Amino acid sequence: MKRILLTGFDPFGGEQSNPSWEVVRRLDGLLIGDSHQIVSARLPCEFVNSLLILDAALRQHQPSIVICLGQASGRADISLERIAINVDDARMPDNAGAQPVDVPVVEGGPAAYFSSLPIKAIAQELHLNGIPASISQTAGTFVCNHVFYGLMHKASELTSIQRAGFIHIPYLPEQAVAHPGAASMSLEMVKTGILKVLESVLKTDKDLRIAGGATH
Amino acid sequence: MKRILLTGFDPFGGEQSNPSWEVVRRLDGLLIGDSHQIVSARLPCEFVNSLLILDAALRQHQPSIVICLGQASGRADISLERIAINVDDARMPDNAGAQPVDVPVVEGGPAAYFSSLPIKAIAQELHLNGIPASISQTAGTFVCNHVFYGLMHKASELTSIQRAGFIHIPYLPEQAVAHPGAASMSLEMVKTGILKVLESVLKTDKDLRIAGGATH
Amino acid sequence: MKRILLTGFDPFGGEQSNPSWEVVRRLDGLLIGDSHQIVSARLPCEFVNSLLILDAALRQHQPSIVICLGQASGRADISLERIAINVDDARMPDNAGAQPVDVPVVEGGPAAYFSSLPIKAIAQELHLNGIPASISQTAGTFVCNHVFYGLMHKASELTSIQRAGFIHIPYLPEQAVAHPGAASMSLEMVKTGILKVLESVLKTDKDLRIAGGATH
Amino acid sequence: MKRILLTGFDPFGGEQSNPSWEVVRRLDGLLIGDSHQIVSARLPCEFVNSLLILDAALRQHQPSIVICLGQASGRADISLERIAINVDDARMPDNAGAQPVDVPVVEGGPAAYFSSLPIKAIAQELHLNGIPASISQTAGTFVCNHVFYGLMHKASELTSIQRAGFIHIPYLPEQAVAHPGAASMSLEMVKTGILKVLESVLKTDKDLRIAGGATH
């Protein structure tokens, strides 16, 4: 049985919960097809410790697929990140009080890594299932991008990891109550969406070429 | 048994469905408490005919509560309209091809009517149930505002109508798929939300005073 | 010589200046054509005192045209308000610490007043001069709408006032510096814009019928 | 005399002008301090030809500083791009009708290049001069990013280029007239802004560490 590692984050920014962990913990242990099983891990929303915990989970579970999830306040859909960049630039402190500015995630690492998920095929799969989704050209420069870059850097060294990437998800509706005008998505739909993502990953050898870019 | 009239619209703007009708038709016939029953009516997205059909439904069902619903592309929450204004100003033709510009809804009618729903109590009830909701200061100048104004004008004449108002709801997720970046809300949550609205209407004599305004 | 009264507000919301007063004070005394002269007045950003000062200015100057201006954080263009509504609903205290919620501007007044400026002709004039402008369906429920409603109520009693209305303007660029992502407009362009507004008011007897509405 | 190469684009997307070329052509020939002179070049909004023309200009002028400018519809400030990524993904055809999807800008090139402009010092300089500006984490995946990546790739080979980067600017006001709600910036302010950018580049050896990131 191969393993799929899904990670979610601790709450941050004054929230009581983090939708990324709420969805990921509900998928823990689930079988996908007859060959893969999900294992879920919870990451602190901290620059340093997030990658330590991620590395430990990678060693423990030896997954062939890794998808890290994070909350994107204000975004309205399941947001498939295209690229991780080698910089931390925090506008607010992380949960440990650290606020790195213009520091590389990995000293001497390449400027960026592209996701190895078939993001265009995934977007199409989600759309066919009535689930809003889009390609994102930036995962920001906070802990989400930090984990994404750290993951892709590790994946570039570990041949056991076949596919890796990062997905941002909206607020849950109960969170959006406190953020007037902010978009949200139900937990049920995010959960269904992530299962569709995994189906798409497993059945796609070569990503589709469907336009998903941004003019700027 | 008293009646609650809920209305939804036909699809417009190239959409295949209209979430307002999708939710309203699923509530048709439902009992609210042991004193009220929902009747649902479908309005065309047309300036002239929408009010003709609404008037017919008011005569037929003699409701004590009337809430008209409409789709608000791009809005993220259940949007409780505060005021209907006496003007039609259409940027695009309605479903019958009419595009009135700067014409009153009711010749000689007052400039505006305030909703007689307890919109602040409703917003609080929705929030307590984890459902995003807000007060809106404008229902626009298209068919939704037209129906809202026409309803309130009629309600000002009919003592049988105790409460009347208008609620805008977001796209359904399957609609948002075709509108990148647009917010959406699941049909299940809108349905639950409208039931909470009705509970709140029935139990509220005098609306709460909770800030819900806009700076501009 | 007839008088045109322009008003601007004191700074509020932590700002150092208010673009509405910055532009209005620079136009004080200016002749428009050979028949009209501008007088400018500064209003406090306070529910009670704003209308007291406005009333005093109306008595003192006996203007035939009155346009009140206010700052609309986040809006990108010169925003021609269509309608003033009879409610104060403040999300934050005004500069005197008052925060009315769901209180009428004028007890017993009508629900709303439409602007008597030719807003469509003005929008067209601004566009022809390369100045971004649009019709707004709501002036909010804070001090701007309060002043707008109070002005229109007074204008409904004073036959000396031939045209009256309210215009929202964007941040100045130097303000937008402190509000990342917020739109702004240069003082020079706003000033030119207001002069074009006045030209348009003076030369328009009957407003144009050009679509300027909102779907919701 | 050292040379500073500034580039702007042809109009695209149905526009009559492109603010990037409008500003750049007005700066052509200008001396900055007593050591540098601006030369301006106009690039077609085409994937293939834009880089051919840029390369020719680099060979002809041998600049020590290169800044390419582009229009960013909807953005409200001078947007200092942090990173160029090695992918073209066009949602619409360029001016030559080409619409590459998921094709690298430079086959075999690194995933991304960081700007070598001191973007944080520049942002501070602009802010001190009352000019809205911010750091952007993505230049998109259209011709702007294509030129930015191509420039940085070339700069990685040419030791003569000391600083290179890309800046997005808003619509001009006269363009925004046709895009209701879209932000704009006056040509005068953009021109002043670009001169401040150049002053900042010339006087900054090591960029400042000021937070300028994004949470996602």
User: Per-residue pLDDT tens for A16-50?
Assistant: 999 999 999 999 999 998 999 999 999 999 999 99
D81 in active site: yes
B216 in active site: no
pLDDT of residue C156: 98
pLDDT of residue B158: 94
User: Per-residue pLDDT tens for C58-103?
Assistant: 999 999 999 999 999 999 999 999 999 999 999 999 999 999 999 9
Q: Tell me if A184 sits within 8 A of D62, measured CB to CB.
A: no
Query: Which residues on chain C are in Cβ contact (under 8 Å) with D185?
Result: 173, 184
Query: Which residues on chain D are in Cβ contact (under 8 Å) with A207?
Result: 102
- A15 Cβ contact partners less than 8 Å away, ≥ 6 residues apart: A71, A175
Give yes or no for C47 touching B (CB within 8 A): no
Alpha helices in D103-185 (DSSP H): 119-128, 143-155, 173-176
Query: Which residues on chain D are in Cβ contact (under 8 Å) with C185?
Result: 173, 184
Give yes or no for D183 touching C (CB within 8 A): yes
User: Could you tell me which chain A residue has the CA closest to the CA of D210?
Assistant: A101
Q: Tell me if D148 sits within 8 A of D84, measured CB to CB.
A: yes
Residue bearing tokens 């149930």: B129
Nearest to B132 among A127, A132, A184 (CB): A184
C70 contacts B216? CB cut-off 8 A: yes
Q: Can you read off the two tokens belonging to residue A98?
A: 């650290």
Helix (H, G, I), strand (E, B) or coil at D30: coil
The residue from C68, C81, C125, C146 that is catalytic is C81
Q: What average pLDDT does range A40-65 have in this prediction?
A: 98
**In a 10 Å sphere around its CB, with 0-12 CB exposed, 13-18 middle and 19+ buried, how is residue A51 labelled?**
buried
Give yes or no for D187 touching C (CB within 8 A): no
Nearest to D173 among C176, C181, C189 (CB): C189
What band does D187 get if pLDDT is binned at 50, 70 and 90? very high
D76 contacts C173? CB cut-off 8 A: no
User: Could you tell me which chain B residue has the CA closest to the CA of C114?
Assistant: B111
What band does D20 get if pLDDT is binned at 50, 70 and 90? very high
C76 contacts D76? CB cut-off 8 A: yes
User: Per-residue pLDDT tens for B160-208?
Assistant: 999 999 999 999 999 999 999 999 999 999 999 999 999 999 999 999 9
pLDDT of residue B48: 98
Q: Which chains touch C (3 or more CB pairs under 8 A)?
A: B, D
Give yes or no for B174 touching A (CB within 8 A): yes
Nearest to B180 among A134, A177, A184 (CB): A134
Q: How many CB pairs under 8 A join B and C?
A: 134
- D36 Cβ contact partners less than 8 Å away, ≥ 6 residues apart: D1, D2, D3, D4, D64, D65, D198, D202
A130 contacts B181? CB cut-off 8 A: no
User: Per-residue pLDDT tens for C158-203?
Assistant: 999 999 999 999 999 999 999 999 999 999 999 999 999 999 999 9
CA distance C190 to C132: 10
Q: What average pLDDT does range B111-138 have in this prediction?
A: 98
Give yes or no for A140 touching D (CB within 8 A): yes
Give yes or no for A93 touching D (CB within 8 A): no
D70 contacts A101? CB cut-off 8 A: no
A181 contacts B130? CB cut-off 8 A: no
D168 in active site: yes
The Cα of B75 is separated from the nearest Cα of chain C by a number of Å equal to 9
Q: What average pLDDT does range A66-92 have in this prediction?
A: 98
pLDDT of residue A216: 94
Sign, CA dihedral A14-A19-A22-A24, equals negative
Q: What ranges make up the beta strands (E) of B72-197?
A: 78-81, 83-85, 88-89, 101-103, 112-114, 133-136, 163-169
Mutate to test the interface with D, among C15, C77, C79 (most CBs of D within 10 A): C77
User: Could you tell me which chain C residue has the CA closest to the CA of D186?
Assistant: C186
- A49 Cβ contact partners less than 8 Å away, ≥ 6 residues apart: A43, A96
CA distance A171 to A70: 10
Give yes or no for D87 touching A (CB within 8 A): yes
Residue bearing tokens 């700067």: B102
Query: Which residues on chain C are in Cβ contact (under 8 Å) with B45?
Result: none
Give yes or no for B180 touching A (CB within 8 A): yes
Give yes or no for A121 touching D (CB within 8 A): no
A210 contacts D99? CB cut-off 8 A: no
What band does B92 get if pLDDT is binned at 50, 70 and 90? very high
Q: What average pLDDT does range B15-21 have in this prediction?
A: 97
pLDDT of residue D11: 97
Mean pLDDT over each residue of chain C, to the nearest integer: 97
Query: Which residues on chain B are in Cβ contact (under 8 Å) with A186?
Result: 186, 188-189
What band does D56 get if pLDDT is binned at 50, 70 and 90? very high
A130 contacts B173? CB cut-off 8 A: yes
What is the enclosing helix (H) or strand (E) of D89? strand D88-89
Q: Which chains touch D (3 or more CB pairs under 8 A)?
A: A, C
D76 contacts C182? CB cut-off 8 A: yes
pLDDT of residue A144: 98
User: Could you tell me which chain B residue has the CA closest to the CA of A135?
Assistant: B180
Query: Which residues on chain A are in Cβ contact (under 8 Å) with D156?
Result: none
Nearest to D113 among A70, A90, A111 (CB): A111
Nearest to D114 among A75, A111, A209 (CB): A111
A137 contacts D138? CB cut-off 8 A: yes
D112 contacts A215? CB cut-off 8 A: no
Nearest to C132 among D132, D134, D176 (CB): D176
CA distance B133 to B77: 5
Nearest to A132 among B77, B176, B188 (CB): B176
User: Of the CATH numbers 3.40.630.20, 3.30.450.40, 3.30.70.20, 3.40.50.720, which one belongs to the domain with range A2-203?
Assistant: 3.40.630.20
pLDDT of residue B52: 98
Pairing of strands A163-169, A65-71: parallel
Q: Tell me if A168 sits within 8 A of A75, measured CB to CB.
A: yes
D132 contacts C176? CB cut-off 8 A: yes
Query: Which residues on chain C are in Cβ contact (under 8 Å) with D181?
Result: 76-77, 134
pLDDT of residue B50: 98
B88 contacts C213? CB cut-off 8 A: yes
Number of Cβ atoms within 10 Å of the Cβ of A189: 24
CA distance C36 to C32: 5
Backbone angles phi, psi at A210, to 5 degrees: -125, 135
Mean pLDDT over each residue of chain D, to the nearest integer: 97
Q: Which chains touch A (3 or more CB pairs under 8 A)?
A: B, D
pLDDT of residue D151: 98
| CA distances from residue B145 to B71, B105, B166, C10, C118 in whole angstroms, order as listed | 12, 9, 8, 34, 22
The residue from A22, A36, A125, A144 that is catalytic is A144
